[in-house]
Amino acid sequence: MHAGFEEVCAKAAAEARNAGHPVLALWREEIERVEPLLPSAPSRSTFFWSSGDLTVLAMDRAIAFPAEGRNRFAEVRQAWERAARTMVSGGPGDRATPALVGAFSFGEGPGSLMWVPRVLVAQRAHGPATLCLAARADPVHGVEDDAARTAWRAVSWLAGTVVRPCPPLPVTGAAIEELPTAEEWKAMVARAVGHIEAGRFSKVVLARRLRVRLPYPPDLGGLLHTLVGAQPGTTVFAAGTGTRTFAGATPERLVAVRGGWAETMSLAATLPRGSTGGDDARLRAELLGDAKCRREQAIVTDMLRGALSEVCHEVEAPDEPEVLDLPHVRHLHSRVRGRIADPETTGVLDLVERLHPTPAVGGHPRAEALGWLRAAERFDRGWYAGPIGWVNADHEGDFAVALRSALLDGSVATLFAGCGIVAGSDPERELAETWLKFRPMLSALLNDQGGPR
C-alpha cells in the first residue's frame, strides 16, 4: 500500500508541474474486512453510508468541491469531470469504488459540498473491502501530505473502527422544542390546502423541526450502529464537517447509476405500522386503498418517469404502487428505471440535477410549490431533503434523499420531518405524521426504541 501510493503521488506531482494545475492521486487496493465499519471519532470531514450490501466510511479531504446557487450541481459535476479526467490512479482495487462523497443543500443557499476523501473504505456484504487513499498534487508545492503519513493515518484510523460501540443507555433529561409549534404548523398546513384548492399548485411538502438538547453530545459511531440495526430497509448516512454532522436513516433513493442503467424511487404517503398482525394488515390495505395517498404518490411517479424518459430508453415503471414496510411506518413506493441513452454524457450527477427536488420533498408543479414554500417555512432546510451520496471515477454512483435525519452540533440535535400536503389533507393527521417521521432518529438519540409518543 505505502509504496504503491507513494509512486502514484510522485506521478501526480510530475503531472501537476507539467500541466500547471492541481492533479488528484488515487490508490485502490483490497484489504481484509473491517467489522464494524463505523466512525470511531469525527475527523475534519466524515462520511458514512450503509445501503443494501454496501457500506462506505471515509475521513478527511484530499480535494473539496463546494457550490451554491441554482447551478450547484453543474459546478460540482464539471469540477469532478476535470479532476477525474486528469487523475493519476493505481492499484488493483475495484474502479467502481466510491471516490467522491458528500451532500447537496435542498435549496440554492450555501452548504453543498462534495469531496474526495483522503482515506475511504468500501465493503460489500460478502468479500473483502477496498481501501482508497487520495492526495492532491499542487504544481508548485507537490503533494500536500506525505504519502507515508497518509498511509499510516489510514492504518491507525482503521484500527479504531474495529471497536464495537458499547450498548447505549437510555438518555434522561433531554429538552425538546417544536419549531414551529404544533398549532403554528397546523395553521400552515391549512393555508397550503387553501392554495391547493384555489389551483395554485397540486402538492407542497411542508417540513418542521424538533430541537433536542441532550445532556451530553451523542456518540456518532454508536448512533449509526443503532440506526443500522433498528432501521432495516433504509440508507443510514452521516456527513460531517468540523463539529457538525448531519445523520439519518432514509427510506428514499433519489437515483443510482450502474452499468448504463438509472434507477430511482417514487416514495410518498405514510401510515403507521399496526400493533398486532391483524391491525397491521388492515392499515396496509387502507394505505393501498386511500385515494389521497394514491394521488400523492402518482404525482411523484409521473414526474420521475417523465424525467428519465428525456435521457433514457426502456423506462420501466409499474402500473400499481407497492407498500414499503419499515419498522414504524409504511409508504407507497414504485421503482422507476431506464437504460441511459448516452452513458458518455449522462452520469449520476446529471440525473441528480434533473430529479432534485422531486414532488416527494418539494411539491408540484415545482416552481409554484417551491416559491410558496420559501416564504412559508421561514427556515433553511440545509442538507435536509437534499441529495446525499457518492460518485465513482466512471461517474456512476448512488444518491439518497436525506430524510429521517438530524443535524448534530455538540449536545444539540435538530431533527427534521416533512409531509406532503394535497387536496383533502387534514392538519391534525399531518402533524401526527411528522411525529412518526421524527421517531426513528429521536428514538436512536434517546436510546429509547419505544419512541416518544
Q: What residues are annotated to the active site?
A: 203, 252
Helices (DSSP H) in 1-104: which residue ranges? Answer: 2-19, 72-86
**Cross-strand partners of 421:** 204
Query: What number of residues does the chain have?
Result: 453
Q: Would you say the C-alpha torsion 213, 215, 217, 218 has a positive or negative sign?
A: negative
Neighbours of 193 (CB within 10 A): 19
Q: Would you say the C-alpha torsion 292, 282, 227, 430 has a positive or negative sign?
A: positive
Q: Determine the residue type at 375.
A: A
384 within 8 A of 434, measured Cβ to Cβ: no
What cell was used for 351?
Answer: 440525473
| DSSP 3-state of 284 | helix
Which among 3, 246, 32, 2 is positioned nearest to 158, based on CA atoms?
32
The position carrying cell 391491525 is 279
**Angle subtended by helix axes 427-446 and 220-230, to nearest 10:** 120
What cell was used for 273?
Answer: 405500522
**Cross-strand partners of 205:** 420
Task: Give the single-character DSSP code of 388.
Answer: E
CA separation, residue 213 to residues 161, 169, 170, 354, 362 (Å): 27, 17, 15, 37, 28
Which among 415, 243, 268 is positioned nearest to 336, based on CA atoms?
268
CA separation, residue 35 to residues 41, 57, 60, 184, 439 (Å): 16, 12, 21, 46, 27
Residues 6+ apart with CB under 8 A from 422: 196, 202, 203, 292, 295, 296, 299
Helices (DSSP H) in 68-181: which residue ranges? Answer: 72-86, 147-161
The position carrying cell 422531486 is 358
314 within 8 A of 338, measured Cβ to Cβ: yes
